[in-house]
Amino acid sequence: MSNTSQITIPVLALRGLVIFPDMMIQFDIGRKKSVLALAGAMEKEQLIFLVAQSDLEDGEPTKEQLYQMGVVAKIKQVVRHSEEGVRLFAEGLYRARLDTVLQEEPFLLAEVSEAEIPAYKSTNTTTALVRHTRTLFEDYAKNYAKIAPDILFGVMQQKDCGKLADYIAANIMLDFDRKQMVLDEVHPVKRLRKLISILEEEIKIISIENEIQEKTREQVDENQREYYLREQMKTIAYELGDDDNPQEEADELRDRIAKLKLPEEQNEKLLKECDRLAKMPIGSHEASVILTYLETCLDLPWNERTKENIDLSRAEKVLNADHYGLKKVKERILEALAVKKLAPENNGQIICLVGPPGVGKTSIARSIAKAIGRKYVRVSLGGVRDESDIMGHRRTYIGSMPGRIIAALRQAKVKNPLILLDEVDKLGSSYRGDPSSALLEVLDSEQNSAFYDHYIDMPFDLSEVLFLTTANDYSSIPAPLLDRMDVITLGSYTHEEKYQIASRHLIPKQLKKNGISPKNLKITPNALHTLIDGYTREAGVRTLERQIASVCRKCAKRIVEDPEIKISVTSRMLEDLLGPQRFKKEKLQQKDEIGLVNGLAWTSVGGELLPIEAAVLQGTGKIELTGSLGDVMKESAQTAISCIRARAEKLGISPDFYKKYDIHIHAPEGAVPKDGPSAGTAMATAITSALCEIPIRRDVAMTGEITLLGRVLPIGGLKEKTMAAYRSGIKTVLIPKENMPDLYEVEDVVKEHVEFVPVERIEQVLNAALVKMPSPSLPVSKEEKHPDQASAAVPNALPLADGKPDSTGAAQSGICQ
């Protein structure tokens, strides 16, 4: 063409697509600007300028990002296939060059000029080029199977150099930038030469690919004969009704062993077992034993790990979210995690969580695993009496299996899980061995890197496993095993802790479990306090959770009958729902009593107030001890009496009182067993009060072991005992001076409301507990003071046979420590 014409038409930028003249094309349009450009073209002569963009990732290309050469196309059809996208059917008319962009919004509008195509003369050279191009295209089509026969026919029909180049470039798989190279060339002969160089390069690449495929095919053919034979064996086995082929299974297992990349010893042993399996006859029992062994070994996480992420702030949040209270336990766990982060290779000591049932030992272990990103597996050791449960059975036995440690690793599927060994104090021994001794190797970080399970029969590395153990009583754990563990004690929950746990965790959990919306059921704070004090008496919160669940079930029935009902459970409603209260709240006496002292006791469900009564009766010097007292507590009572007897004159007591009067010491509730030496000071105080007829202050409680010389010795369980004193309204608690460091563990709320008085001697105890200190000047002999009357000044007196009163008292049960 000798002249060029310039027109103004909308521009449609193509992403990864190049259009040639005389080419019918259909493609989807999704960009808003492109759809608007298409609409603008439809309003005029249905002409649009199609041009490729250089950057495929640009969603809004400008003039600088568009190629200069494109095609003016005629729109044949527009089909809308979605709310935002349309499909365009168009035909390329002629090459055109982008001159000026007139606008970019709302769509591209530009002036384009038709490209001037130089004329050329048909010569022998051009004819040769055409023939050479056809030959190259035939070679390309032979190697590239996706060329349609009609395209090959179309190539043979083209004789013009330019049109042949456009036709071939439009119908072969090339990158869009290489197709643009062909489109940019306006001279027909030069365009064909460019296409020839592109085809020659593509043919070389395809030939290399074919060579690679051929080599691969040859390698595969080497295994074909063996493969066909095995397939025939499989078919024969299937026809015979036996699908199991030891040879085939052995080969599959060999592949699995190779992928695991095991250490040399383990790899050699397992391959040897595979060789044995391959030689076994089909259906033999020995083959099934070997197959089970191999599958068990290969299921172990030899090299699988989870990525550990020790973030102390995140761990602290997880522990606080899952558990209320337990401040010292959480601090100790965070310290262990900090050491683990600083020294990842140092596994350190095994942590043993010791505490009463239901205080959250197992859930703490689960929270630790969650906090550091390890998988959690629980292994219950309660009642295990067979060493093989830990170390596994030898394969020579029928029904043999690996031990619980290997089974836990197989369950976890990683070699660095957190394994909780639950109830380690419940291990027993029998003629089958001692399981606790078998655990020595498991829990020793110096030895467990080559743990030897009898079933696996080869070393397995346990050094990356984080072990935690739990126990109710660490004194039941054998000393060598306990030496490998770092004991963390979880005490009984206080009333406040139980309240917070119930309100934050238990009530929402049971509401969800019973399908009740919080809008339909609400348990008031007073009702929750009553539930804790009146319906439960435990160290943990399991019974409390069961009582909450019972309340939810009873309310669920009413909610089903009336879905719109809103129930607010109060303290008064609890008796209708759960019946009368089972436990009475501990409370002080209304006035100071003679012979009645407030002792403090530790029990398996926390601390309790333990009132102790002492009565002095006319008699012959007998000593009565009642209230289901243990041997240690009886000896403590004898010691208290002897201690007071040694100080009789200083206390204004007749030296021969032990001849004329019987002393009766009682610890109510009589059916509850009690033992321990910590009630010694309380007994000595009660006896002194009864002999001197001096009341004991009702707002004072005490604990401590007494000696014959009047020394006060330290005791245990101070945290629980002081909490019991706080709950009962005690203002002053007398404790042994040597127990002062234990006040560090006492709850802050107790320290704020209770005064602690350290004592070393019985005189200090009497001075703080009695309304007034006895003196030798006081009348001490009841017989001298009332010749015809015994214990006349003692309250709550009972009449004797001769019409004269006798003394007695009241108290509550507990177990002294």
Q: CB neighbours of 33 closer than 8 A, spacing ≥ 6?
A: 60, 105, 106, 107, 108
Residues of the chain with pLDDT > 90, as a percent, come to 19
Does residue 801 contact residue 791 with C-beta atoms inside 8 Å? no
Q: What is the pLDDT of residue 709?
A: 93
Contact 538, 608 (CB under 8 A): no
Q: Which residues pair with 664 in a beta bridge?
A: 615, 624
At residue 547, φ and ψ (nearest 5 deg) are -65, -40
Q: Is 49 buried (19+), middle (13-18) or exposed (0-12) by CB count in 10 A?
A: buried
Q: How far apart are CA 137 and CA 284, in angstroms?
A: 62
Could you tell me which CATH class the domain 596-806 is placed in? alpha beta
Which residues, in sequence order, are bridge partners of residue 103?
Answer: 109
> What's the full length of the chain, in residues?
817
State mean pLDDT over 757-782.
Answer: 80
pLDDT at 597: 94
Class of domain 6-114 as given by CATH: mainly beta
pLDDT in tens, 599-621: 998 876 667 888 999 999 988 88
- What's the pLDDT at 734? 95
Using alpha carbons, select from 184, 175, 151 the residue that is nearest to residue 23.
151
> Which of the residues 179, 498, 721, 782 is marked catalytic?
721
Q: Is 361 helix (H, G, I), strand (E, B) or coil?
A: helix
Closest by alpha carbon to 306, among 415, 379, 411? Answer: 415
Query: For residue 368, what are the CA distances in angstroms to 348, 374, 485?
Result: 16, 8, 17
The pLDDT of residue 230 is above 70: no
Q: CB neighbours of 510 closer than 8 A, spacing ≥ 6?
A: 545, 548, 549, 552
Q: How confident is the model at residue 690 (pLDDT cuts 50, 70, 90)?
A: very high
* Catalytic residue status for 429: no
Mean pLDDT, range 499-508, rounded to an integer: 91
34-68 pLDDT, tens digit per residue, is 888 888 888 878 898 898 888 888 878 888 888 88
pLDDT at position 226 over 70 = no
Q: Is it the case that residue 463 has pLDDT exceeding 60?
A: yes
Q: Answer for the pair 250, 278: CB distance below 8 angstroms, yes or no.
A: yes
What pLDDT does 63 receive?
A: 82
CATH topology of domain 124-219: Methane Monooxygenase Hydroxylase; Chain G, domain 1 (1.20.58)
Cα–Cα distances in Å, from 421 out to 100, 390, 462, 490, 710?
79, 11, 14, 17, 46
Residues 34, 678, 689, 728: which is the catalytic one? 678
Is the domain spanning 312-489 CATH 3.40.50.300? The answer is: yes
Peptide bond connecting 799 to the previous residue in cis, omega within 30 degrees of 0: no
The percent of the chain in helix, strand and coil, each rounded to the nearest 5, is 45, 20, 35
Instruction: Kindly state the helix (H) or strand (E) to which residue 114 belongs, with its residue range.
Output: strand 109-114
CA distance 743 to 97: 92
Q: Of the given ranges (94-108, 208-222, 229-243, 441-455), which has the lowest mean pLDDT?
A: 229-243
Q: Report the chain's mean pLDDT, rounded to a whole number.
A: 82
**Confidence (pLDDT) at 54:** 85
Q: 386: closest CA among 431, 451, 439, 452?
A: 431
Using DSSP's 3-state secondary structure scheme, residue 218 falls into: helix
Q: Which of 415, 420, 416, 437 is nearest to 428 (CA)?
A: 437
> Among 45, 43, 9, 50, which Cα is nearest to 27's?
50
Tell the residue number behind the tokens 């890197």, with chain if given: 449
Residue 139 confidence (pLDDT) above 50: yes
Predicted pLDDT at 605: 62
**Cβ atoms 96, 114 nearer than 8 A:** yes
Phi, psi of 368 (to 5 degrees): -65, -45
With 90 as the cut, is the pLDDT of residue 755 above it? yes
- Band of the pLDDT at 549, cuts 50, 70, 90? very high
pTM: 0.57
pLDDT at 785: 39
Are the C-beta atoms of residues 685 and 765 closer than 8 Å to each other? yes
Compute CA distances 126 → 99, 170, 771, whole Å: 32, 21, 131
For residue 37, give both structure tokens.
């450009």
Residue 509 exposure: Cα atoms within 13 Å on the Cβ side: 14
User: Pairing relation of β-strands 69-80 and 86-103?
Assistant: antiparallel
Look at the alpha carbons of 315, 318, 320, 326 in this order and tell me if their dihedral is positive or negative.
Answer: negative
Does 522 participate in catalysis according to the annotation? no
What secondary structure does DSSP assign to 518-570, as a single string? TTTEEE-HHHHHHHHHHS---SSSHHHHHHHHHHHHHHHHHHHH-TT--EEE-
- As a whole number, mean pLDDT of residues 422-451 equals 81
Distance, CA of 770 to CA of 697 (rounded, Å): 6
Strands 109-114 and 6-14: antiparallel
Distance in angstroms (rounded) separating the CA atoms of residues 18 and 168: 13
What single-letter amino acid sits at 149? P
- Say if residues 805 and 799 touch (Cβ distance below 8 Å): yes
- Considering the domain 495-578, what is its CATH architecture? Orthogonal Bundle (1.10)
- 780 pLDDT band (50/70/90 cuts)? very low
| Stronger pLDDT, 520 or 221, i.e. the higher one | 520
Question: Measured between alpha carbons, how far is 1 from 593 in angstroms, rounded to an integer?
Answer: 128
**pLDDT (0 to 100) of residue 282:** 65
Average pLDDT over residues 422-434: 79
The pLDDT of residue 270 is above 60: yes
